[in-house]
Amino acid sequence: MTAPFDFAPLLAPGTPAPAAKWNGFPKYNFVGGHNDADNVPVEALVEAATTVLRREGPTLATYGLNSGPLGYRPLREFLSKKLKGHAGIECTPDEILITSGSLQGLDLVNTLLLGKGDTILIEKETYGGALTRLAKFGVNIVGIPLDDDGMRMDALKSTLAELKARGVTPKYIYTIPTVQNPTGSIMPVERRKEMIALAREYKTMIFEDECYSDLVWSGKRPPSIHSLAGGEGVIFVGSFSKSIAPALRVGYIVAKWGILARILGLKQDAGSGALEQMVLAEFCTRHFANHVPKLNKTLSHKLQVLREALAEQFGTAAEFGDPPGGIYLWVKLPDNVDTLKLFQAAQAAGVALNPGPEWSTDKAYARSRLRLCFANPDPATIKKGVEVLADVCRREFGVPLRSSNVEKR
């Protein structure tokens, strides 16, 4: 009975390659949305779990607890208040759907709207995971360039006009307006209003991804596009991954009931994990407002450590800004550096990074760019990792010529 069975002839066409065995995290981990381990509020989570389980534990016996398929109601009630104060969003708890991470939100919205051959608009530099997901739908991905204030409205307008001339209505404009991934920009309110007007004019929707919007050092951010549009024609996704802990896998979609009901009709998973929702609701109601500024203090410090390390190790060879929030820095290296090749060489040296072409619709433009996430490694590891990266880069591409003011040849 135990002779090997060859399942290959049974695979569906186009099945992706098998996953590699996991060998632990890289030594210098500058990828992924990992967060600062010391800021996981362990004792408060223990307290929240104890309280909520003693109060409502038996409801775990029913799918959806006693809250129905939108998710644990006290968490939606917390979000309804938090989103009003934070992002200006006026929504009831019944206009919020809890998802298994904001990734499930992306999948649900894409499934709702996208068919093969459809067109979507997206920031030219954007979240790599959004691009890989869109590729699976076989859609036409049109990148809109950014400046320091986020997506450029002149470029959006001309692209929409060109598409209209060809009879194409894009399914949506995907934007990360508040701490853009990877550039870190925050779109000013006027530009947000322009985007809404353009979306209306061209009868397309806006898909607003706010996964990083809690991580703004100043604590201040413009109202969300969803709020400025009164919720009409905008689907908003958010997450607790960046503000509390990514392993929890809790995100949410905010939309008017008409469209949320459609999304809910596609969510056939019998609910997202209830214990996480219960513990988050209990924790956030009491501690979210105090927790986030503390986390931001750590993150903004780590950003400065990364920036100083890059300046020290790469000198003028690395160009980067000083983002007002987030967990990543978008870095430009000299034109001769191919970050896809750098990625391979760095990996062998224990340094993980996101090569620019995976984070952009314009592979040539992003060729010598890379994204470095700074939230997870401690400051000493950040410094050492950048030193190792500079060594690898010098060996492979001859830059930086000087590190720590010492010539390296």
From 279, 299, 372, 389, residue interacting with a second copy (rule: CB under 8 A): 279
269/362 with CB nearer a second copy: 269
Using CB under 8 A as the binding rule, whether residue 261 contacts a second copy is answered as yes
Subset of 203-222 contacting a second copy (CB under 8 A): 203-205
Using CB under 8 A as the binding rule, whether residue 12 contacts a second copy is answered as yes
From 32, 145, 315, 350, residue interacting with a second copy (rule: CB under 8 A): 32
- Burial-class residue 21 by CB neighbours within 10 Å (0-12, 13-18, 19+): exposed
185/204 with CB nearer a second copy: 204
- Minimum distance of a second copy from residue 407's CB (angstroms): 38
Using CB under 8 A as the binding rule, whether residue 286 contacts a second copy is answered as no
The rounded distance, in Å, linking the Cα atoms of 190 and 172 is 20
Site string for a second copy, 55-94 (x = CB under 8 A): --xxxxxxxxxx-xxx-----------------------x
182/400 with CB nearer a second copy: 182
From 25, 88, 164, 396, residue interacting with a second copy (rule: CB under 8 A): 25
From 177, 184, 271, 357, residue interacting with a second copy (rule: CB under 8 A): 271
From 28, 30, 34, 391, residue interacting with a second copy (rule: CB under 8 A): 34
205 backbone φψ class: left, alpha, beta (φ>0; ψ -120 to 50): beta
Q: Which stretch binds a second copy (CB under 8 A): 176-184, 247-255, 305-313, 324-332?
A: 247-255
Using CB under 8 A as the binding rule, whether residue 270 contacts a second copy is answered as yes
Using CB under 8 A as the binding rule, whether residue 274 contacts a second copy is answered as yes
| Number of amino acids touching a second copy (CB under 8 A) | 104
Using CB under 8 A as the binding rule, whether residue 230 contacts a second copy is answered as yes
The rounded distance, in Å, linking the Cα atoms of 162 and 46 is 55
364/380 with CB nearer a second copy: 380
**Bridge partner list, 371:** 330, 354
Site string for a second copy, 320-359 (x = CB under 8 A): ----------------------------------------
76/124 with CB nearer a second copy: 76
Subset of 289-318 contacting a second copy (CB under 8 A): none
Using CB under 8 A as the binding rule, whether residue 266 contacts a second copy is answered as yes
Q: Which of 26, 104, 29, 45 is nearest to 245 (CA)?
A: 45
Using CB under 8 A as the binding rule, whether residue 119 contacts a second copy is answered as no
278/370 with CB nearer a second copy: 278
- Minimum distance of a second copy from residue 221's CB (angstroms): 19
Using CB under 8 A as the binding rule, whether residue 40 contacts a second copy is answered as yes
The rounded distance, in Å, linking the Cα atoms of 372 and 299 is 13
From 74, 93, 184, 233, residue interacting with a second copy (rule: CB under 8 A): 233
From 141, 168, 189, 264, residue interacting with a second copy (rule: CB under 8 A): 264
From 164, 193, 287, 384, residue interacting with a second copy (rule: CB under 8 A): 193
- Max distance between CA atoms of the chain, in angstroms, equals 69
For every residue of the chain, which 3-state class applies, written as one string?
CCCCCCCHHHCCCCCCCCCCCCCCCCCEECCCCCCCHHHCCHHHHHHHHHHHHHHHHHHHHCCCCCCCCCCCHHHHHHHHHHHHHHHCCCCCHHHEEEECHHHHHHHHHHHHHCCCCCEEEEECECCHHHHHHHHHHCCEEEEECEECCEECHHHHHHHHHHHHHCCCCCCEEEECCECCCCCCCECCHHHHHHHHHHHHHCCCEEEEECCCCCCECCCCCCCCHHHHCCCCCEEEEEECCCCCCHHHCCEEEECCHHHHHHHHHHCCCCCCCHHHHHHHHHHHHHHHHHHHHHHHHHHHHHHHHHHHHHHHHHHHHCECCCCCECCEEEEECCCCCCHHHHHHHHHHCCEECEEHHHHECCCCCCCCEEEEECCCCCHHHHHHHHHHHHHHHHHHHCCCCEECCEECC
Using CB under 8 A as the binding rule, whether residue 385 contacts a second copy is answered as no
From 5, 220, 380, 407, residue interacting with a second copy (rule: CB under 8 A): 5
Using CB under 8 A as the binding rule, whether residue 15 contacts a second copy is answered as yes
